[in-house]
Amino acid sequence: MIEKFEVLRRLQSLTNKINEFKISQERRKQDVQEKKILVENKRIIAENKHKGKLSIQKEIDRKELDIKTNEGEITKYNVQLNSIKTNKEYSALITKIGSKKADMSILEDEVLDTMSRLEVANQEYEKATEGLRNEEKILGDLMVCVDTETKETDNEIEKTKNEQKKYIDLLDEHSLKQYNRLSNIKGGKAVVPVIGNVCGGCSMNVTTQTLNELMGGKDLVFCRSCSRILYLDKNSD
Ligand SMILES: [Zn+2]
């Protein structure tokens, strides 16, 4: 017959196994969460690049409109030149035309300059979009992968729980309660080996009486320092 401490030790080992499965599931969920945040950041970057691009395009449109307005005024002044009466008026108009042409030249230079900036902005936007698409793809793959893993782990947890039931059925209600209470208090470490006369839970020396109980008794033996359930480690001396 399997000894009570051994039943509890196996029960504990299965509980720890389930906890490890759950921790690994949480970790993978965390991976997905982190990737989602990364994708969201990439999306914001791409959106900002898009806004930047549009704003430069607007700047070009405004300047081109200014050029058209200037062209219109120059045409108007040229028509006026035909009906000029005095030399003074004539040279005043010529000066105006000259000034408008100078403005135009500056505007045209500015348009060229802004167009180069637009080209850079377009490239940056393309790059940001591509980066976003890549990360979205990686996230999608990761989610599928984690989903499959989670289902597999859920199955493993279910199997382990069924296995636990076999051991739970072997225990009396009182021992099970004692074990569960200890397991909750001691963070899943309720059953510990005695190695070299030392409790594997609290590292305190166990008394000779406790050792005698462990070697002779059939019932559960508790550490007098930390109250954990003890068993003799067969591998130790
Ligand atoms: Zn102890």
| 192 Cα to the center of ligand 1, angstroms | 8
Dump pLDDT digits (tens) for 32-82: 999 999 999 999 999 999 999 999 999 999 999 999 999 999 999 999 999
| 1 Cα to the center of ligand 1, angstroms | 26
- Angle formed at CA 133 by CA 130 and CA 136, multiple of 5 degrees: 150
The arrangement of strands across the sheet holding 229-232 comes to 198-199, 191-195, 229-232, 221-222
Determine the residue type at 36. Answer: K
pLDDT of residue 237: 44
| 21 Cα to the center of ligand 1, angstroms | 27
Could you tell me which of 114, 106, 80 has the C-alpha nearest to residue 94? 80
Give me the percent of the chain exceeding a pLDDT of 70: 98
Domains of the chain: 7-171 (1.10.287.1490), 176-232 (no CATH)
Dump pLDDT digits (tens) for 128-163: 999 999 999 999 999 999 999 999 999 999 999 999
- Cβ density class 92-102: b for 16+ within 10 Å, e for less: eeeeebeebee
pLDDT of residue 235: 62
Dump pLDDT digits (tens) for 88-137: 999 999 999 999 999 999 999 999 999 999 999 999 999 999 999 999 99
Residue 192 has pLDDT above 50, yes or no: yes
- CB–CB of 196/205 below 8 Å? no
| Cross-strand pairs, 103 | none
Mean pLDDT for the stretch of residues 192-207: 94
Q: How far apart, in whole angstroms, are the C-alpha atoms of residue 190 and residue 211? A: 18
- CB–CB of 186/223 below 8 Å? no
Residue 236 has pLDDT above 80, yes or no: no
| 82 Cα to the center of ligand 1, angstroms | 112
| 189 Cα to the center of ligand 1, angstroms | 11
| 215 Cα to the center of ligand 1, angstroms | 17
pLDDT of residue 231: 94
| 169 Cα to the center of ligand 1, angstroms | 27
pLDDT of residue 143: 98
